[in-house]
Chain A
């Protein structure tokens, strides 16, 4: 197992390099970093421009340029953002912390409720509650996150305060404007609506996965064996059913980082929540190459990492799988 993990990590490094090279080329072609630098800093001196090109590896062709960028990147000698000349690392850290909080809360809430609903539906397949859950999940999948976000915003920003005379959930930011210091209650209130939007998607997806996975397991031979041995129904469900039904679900969960990040971009933008998604979208709008590249590296690295985690947990949960 350890050897397998080490080998996978060794493979991940060239993959990471290749993908970031492709991203580098795509961003250089698509966002024209030198032009956007000049757009944000129209009076930059020739030295400044040369320094900007050097630090970002934008001077020469793609291969040597990428190499130049990489050298500065791994030595943490990161260039400043082109708009407002901000330090990139603290900005990225802030965004990551905010997104992790939102993403983790939404994932926990979404997965727990989603799995619960899935089990609830699978216990009586074809029954009324199964059909209801299935249809609801289907509708949930068909609603893009910005639709639920806009409708929630409409409800809470306008109508809740009109009907009840106070604001329950604020609809933008992490804290009210002008607030400083840490306040968990305020933070949770600001996070509630974006979290609900992301969680709805997760619930809709996972309840369907869990339902079909548990149904597969419940119809398998070893479940009949367990029943015939006289184990109680609840023991069967928990010990044999849930454990085995979770195997494919866990793998899907770990492979799902990309779509969760995608959901965060949309949600954070609407709720003005300063996380990874808003960070990327702003940087992309400005063509801010120094901000975008580290973001991309982080995303690609986490996708690779979660892929590895998926494979390892798969082997750990299912003893039939041997990783050579």
Chain B
């Protein structure tokens, strides 16, 4: 028995420890958690319905006051309540499309990186093409194209629905993830433990699922986080230009709320611009901070305490 007890820390423990030392990320978790809590408890926290006006007219463009904490919009709806509904829709879009993006991106990236060859070339060229092209232009053109293909609409919904936006953002989202996973797989597949696994006769699928993907979990988590932000911002951008989910169906989203502010700023209704903008910035900042901390925490090349 040696006299010196070396403290042993599992990699997961170490990552957690590193994550917790990133103060901004911990604060972000708290803020984001509060947002999610308020949104989940929307039957209690929201004061009015999504399309309900705060009182009988005149009720439009009321500045913040007791009956409408954050003011009202052009037809007298409570901005505070609408923000809660909007954040709910935006978070759902962000999470759903990020999960699809990451699932597709992992499979494509892992296969492309592991097999190489023609499949790899084609996938990476397509990715290059889309990443070089102005994102908004590609998004708008593909949106219209998908909307025009009528045989697709039973699967992805019509072009004003939330489901459609989720799929649309996922179509662009998987590429970044595929690149990251591919890079990870390329560096892992030359390592000894993969060679050993191959030597004992493991199938390709087994190696990808049991060795390559679990060992890439850090970068995948980071990609997931940034995908959520990307999708939330993407939805907001589309909605801002009137190409997002349509407002008619009793829904709203952060993008629609920010877009509504576009016409209101010239007349000085600051509350219509400031609160939705602040909500969008706070959410995207929080998730970005968490992603940043995750990246630092799961990167084994970084020394502890750096």
Contacts and interface: CB of A to CB of B under 8 A. Distances in A.
- Among A144, A171, A255, A265, the most chain B Cβ lie within 10 Å of the Cβ of A144
B281 A147 contact: yes
B57 interface: no
Contacts of B134: 258-259, 261-262, 265, 299
B284 A262 contact: no
A218 B130 CA distance: 35
Interface stretch (A28-36, A105-113, A179-187): A28-36
B145 interface: yes
Interface in B131-164: 131-137, 140-145, 147-149
A226 interface: no
Nearest to B130: A258
B125 to A, nearest CB: 10
A144 B236 contact: yes
Interface string A142-162: 111011001101100111001
Contact of A146 (B148, B258, B268): B258
A20 to B, nearest CB: 12
B92 interface: no
A138 B233 CA distance: 15
A237 B241 CA distance: 46
Given A26-B145, A142-B284, A270-B262, A303 B133 contact: yes
A273 interface: no
A141 B145 contact: no
A150 B148 contact: no
Contacts of B194: none
Interface in A120-141: 135, 138-139, 141
A307 interface: yes
- Among B140, B236, B289, the most chain A Cβ lie within 10 Å of the Cβ of B140
Interface string B251-267: 00000001001100111
Nearest to B292: A138
Interface stretch (B94-102, B217-225, B270-278): B270-278
Given A144-B236, A157-B266, A255 B144 contact: no
A29 B148 contact: yes
Contacts of A154: 265, 268, 270, 273-274
B136 A262 contact: yes
Nearest to B143: A30
B51 interface: no
Given A142-B281, A154-B265, A269-B241, A30 B145 contact: yes
A258 B133 CA distance: 5
B48 interface: no
Nearest to B240: A146
User: In terms of DSSP, what is the predominant structure of the interface of chain B?
Assistant: helix
Interface bracket on B: 35 or more
A255 B266 CA distance: 36
A30 B258 contact: no
B151 to A, nearest CB: 12
- Among A27, A262, A266, the most chain B Cβ lie within 10 Å of the Cβ of A262
A150 B284 contact: no
Given A259-B135, A303-B133, A158 B266 contact: yes
B237 interface: yes
Given A265-B134, A299-B137, A144 B280 contact: yes
B24 A30 contact: no
Interface in A256-306: 258-259, 261-262, 265-266, 269-270, 280-281, 284, 296, 299-300, 303
A270 B147 CA distance: 26
A19 interface: yes
B256 to A, nearest CB: 13
A89 interface: no
Given A142-B284, A265-B137, A29 B265 contact: no
B90 to A, nearest CB: 13
Nearest to A292: B141
A307 to B, nearest CB: 7
Interface string A7-24: 000000000000100010
A150 B288 contact: no
B103 interface: no
Nearest to A19: B129
Interface of A: 19, 23, 26-27, 29-32, 135, 138-139, 141-144, 146-147, 150-151, 153-154, 157-159, 162, 171, 255, 258-259, 261-262, 265-266, 269-270, 280-281, 284, 296, 299-300, 303, 307
Interface of B: 24, 129, 131-137, 140-145, 147-149, 229, 233, 236-237, 240-241, 258, 261-262, 265-268, 270, 273-274, 277, 280-281, 284-285, 288-289, 292
Q: Top 3 closest A-B pairs, CB basis?
A: A30-B144, A30-B145, A262-B134
12 contacts: A146-B240, A154-B265, A158-B265, A158-B266, A258-B134, A261-B134, A262-B135, A266-B237, A270-B262, A299-B133, A299-B137, A307-B132
